[in-house]
Amino acid sequence: MTLASGRPTFSIHTYGCQMNVRDSGVLARRLVAAGYSEAASEDAADIVVVNSCSVREKAEDKAIGKLLMLCAARRDRPGLVVGLTGCMANRLGDGVFKKVPGLSFSFGPRAGAVLPQLVERALAGEAQMWVPDPERAGEGASENGVSAGDGRGREGDAARSGRPLAQSFVTILYGCNQRCSYCIVPFVRGREESRDPGVIVEEVREEARRGARDVCLLGQSVMRYGKMGFKWPDSIPSPMGFTEPLPRLLELVAREVPEVRRLRFTSGHPLGVTDELVRAMREIPAVCAHLHLPMQSGSDRILRQMRRGYDSSRYLEAVRMLREGVPDIAITTDVIVGYPGETADDFEATRRIMEEAAFDNAFVFKYSPRPGTDSALVEDDVPDGEKCRRDQVLLADQDARGQRLNDRWIGRNVEVLVDGPSLRNASRWSGRTEQNKIVVFDPVDGMNAGDFAFVSIEGARPQTLFGTVAR
């Protein structure tokens, strides 16, 4: 491979959740700041970093397969640097070099600052370097990576992966201290750690400077923001009279970064849905009428075994508070099918509660035992065929429900943040409503991605609205 044509180029391949998407963006900026540039495609890159997910076995299988393929590609691309980060990096530690001997380096998701150094050493020929997460991510440390005002535009963002530029993420809470029986995240993302509000504001401002108009604040259990080893600084008042950290943070970010017209936060938890949070969602104009509130199951018996900390009636109570307090709110969820011991009755309870909660959208996952978790100690006794069947049933239910709920938008005028050409049909454009619903429409002259526009809704499908730009 020849590097003579210019600076070495990189590509980052991202699996997993929005937190990984955020981390990949930050890693890319770190590399750009260190003098590397983003490759036009992964095939053309000198350095490929895989940002991995461990949440289900399949996610890990994909990442391992990808790494092996990349290392094999060295036959044609000698000198290709292949690195790993993300949750699987933490789960496997230096054990990953047994599975993927050709790997240049691996580092934990909170150790991203070392990436430029690892790349430099790898380009010089070093291999199999492993850097674990630091004990604490470092109070006050910003993830901006590139100093503000460098004028370099958006290189190194997820732009090429097709993610809309106007929508962005900022992590506000690292790790997770809950111990849901099935979940690997606490093992691979470490202890819960709330980030400093001043640093968060600075990072949101940086996203706005890069064009973001919709920012989602991230935490695995985001409503735990500010609950552990943290005191909201006395120097930051709450004119709206909030006392809880998350409402205060939403108020602060909305006030300090008005360019961000839409603020979201995810993932929610029913026990975190307080009167004050509902008031924040209603009264802070930038905070969107949208919440992702994973339910996991509608069976009280299964919820207890999952150690989720709520039962179905507490969950529905949170939904009621949100619907009463936040006009037009869209609520989406995650559900696991085939948890060990899940009976036909448990499953029917899930179907029933999903209908009662009237979810706008639902992500359904087939249970996958994860090493080291408590539920992996009991038999994974729901056969795969039955998991698939339950998955299909919930998706069909959700389609019918989504159609019903989306039909209610027909005839209304909604404001969308324009994403640009739609993925399915480039002659039509798409955008998102405050509820995060996708709207497809014909673009009008002078319209650009990142604009806000009003669209009058004329048609609906379970996951999409269709309309005409209003003048």
Residue ranges in contact with ligand F3S by CB under 6 A? 16-17, 19-20, 53-55, 86-87, 184-185, 188-189
Torsion (CA) 14, 15, 17, 20 in degrees, nearest 10: -40
Q: How far is the CB of 45 from ligand SF4 (least distance, A)?
A: 31
Residues in 169-208 at the binding interface with ligand SAH, rule: CB under 6 A:
182-183, 185
Return the one option of ligand SAH, ligand SF4, ligand F3S, none that residue 16 interacts with (CB less than 5 to 8 A, by type): ligand F3S
Return the one option of ligand F3S, ligand SAH, ligand SF4, none that residue 54 interacts with (CB less than 5 to 8 A, by type): ligand F3S
Measured between alpha carbons, how far is 440 from 430 in angstroms, rounded to an integer? 4
Q: Tell me how many residues contact ligand SF4 (CB under 6 A).
A: 8
DSSP helix, strand, coil percent of the chain (3-state; round to 5)? 35, 20, 40
Strand partners, 218: 171, 266
Identity of residue 41:
S
Residues in 97-116 at the binding interface with ligand SF4, rule: CB under 6 A:
none
Return the one option of ligand SAH, ligand F3S, ligand SF4, none that residue 186 interacts with (CB less than 5 to 8 A, by type): ligand SF4
Q: Is 368 in the site for ligand SAH (CB under 6 A)?
A: yes
Return the one option of ligand SAH, ligand F3S, ligand SF4, none that residue 367 interacts with (CB less than 5 to 8 A, by type): ligand SAH
Torsion (CA) 117, 123, 128, 133 in degrees, nearest 10: 20
Give the three-state DSSP class for 281: helix
Q: How far is the CB of 184 from ligand F3S (least distance, A)?
A: 6
Q: Is 370 in the site for ligand SAH (CB under 6 A)?
A: yes
- Sheet bearing 262-266, strands edge to edge: 193-194, 167-174, 214-219, 262-266
Q: How far is the CB of 59 from ligand F3S (least distance, A)?
A: 6
Residues in 207-266 at the binding interface with ligand SF4, rule: CB under 6 A:
220-221
Among 187, 230, 232, 365, binds ligand SAH (CB under 6 A): 365
Q: How far is the CB of 221 from ligand SF4 (least distance, A)?
A: 4
Identity of residue 83:
G
Q: How far is the CB of 273 from ligand F3S (least distance, A)?
A: 22
Handedness of CA 179, 180, 182, 184 (dihedral sign): negative
Return the one option of ligand F3S, ligand SAH, ligand SF4, none that residue 336 interacts with (CB less than 5 to 8 A, by type): ligand SAH
Decide whether 16 or 247 has the Cβ nearer to ligand F3S. 16
Torsion (CA) 270, 281, 165, 398 in degrees, nearest 10: 50
Decide whether 70 or 180 has the Cβ nearer to ligand SAH. 180
Measured between alpha carbons, how far is 66 from 60 in angstroms, rounded to an integer? 10
Measured between alpha carbons, how far is 388 from 371 in angstroms, rounded to an integer? 22
Token pair listed for 169: 């993420």
Residues in 333-352 at the binding interface with ligand SAH, rule: CB under 6 A:
334, 336
Q: Is 52 in the site for ligand SAH (CB under 6 A)?
A: no
Token pair listed for 139: 């109070």
Query: DSSP letters along 155-209, please?
Result: TTSGGGGT--TTEEEEEEEES-----TT--HHHHH-S-EEPPHHHHHHHHHHHHH
Site string for ligand SF4, 166-185 (x = CB under 6 A): ----------x-x-x--x-x
Q: Where on the chain is the footprint of ligand SAH (CB under 6 A)?
A: 55-56, 182-183, 185, 220-221, 267, 294, 296, 334, 336, 365, 367-368, 370
